[in-house]
Amino acid sequence: MSNLMFDPESLPEKAQEKLRAVEELYTKWNKSINLVSERDEKKIWERHIVDSLQAIPLFHEVNKIADMGSGVGLPAVPLAIACPEVDVFAIEPILKKCVLIQEIIREVRLPNLHVQNDRTEKVFLSHMDVVICRAFGEFHRDAKLAYKMLKPGGMFMTHKASPEPEPPEGYERHENHAYQLPTHSRRFYVVVAHKAGEM
pLDDT tens-place values along the chain, 199 residues long: 459 999 999 999 999 999 999 999 998 888 777 776 666 778 889 999 999 999 999 999 999 999 999 999 999 999 999 999 999 999 999 999 999 999 999 999 999 999 999 999 999 999 999 999 997 789 999 999 999 999 999 999 999 999 999 999 999 999 999 999 988 888 999 999 999 875 4
Query: Residue ranges of the domains in the chain?
Result: 8-195
Alpha carbon separation from 108 to 50, 64, 101, 184 (Å, rounded): 17, 20, 10, 29
CATH number of 8-195: 3.40.50.150
Alpha carbon separation from 9 to 17, 40, 131, 140, 147 (Å, rounded): 10, 22, 25, 33, 33
Distant-in-sequence, close-in-space partners of 165: CB < 8 Å, separation ≥ 6: none
Taking the C-alpha atoms of residue 186 and residue 10, their distance in angstroms, rounded to an integer, is 23
The predicted model scores a pTM of: 0.93
DSSP codes of every residue in 26-82: HHHHHHHH-SS-GGGGGGIIIIIIIHHTTTGGG--S--EEEEET-TTTTTHHHHHHH
Average pLDDT, the chain: 92
pLDDT tens, 14-57? Answer: 999 999 999 999 988 887 777 766 667 788 899 999 999 999 99
The pLDDT, as a whole number, for residue 183 is 85
Asked if 169 and 140 count as a contact pair (C-beta separation under 8 A), the reply is: yes
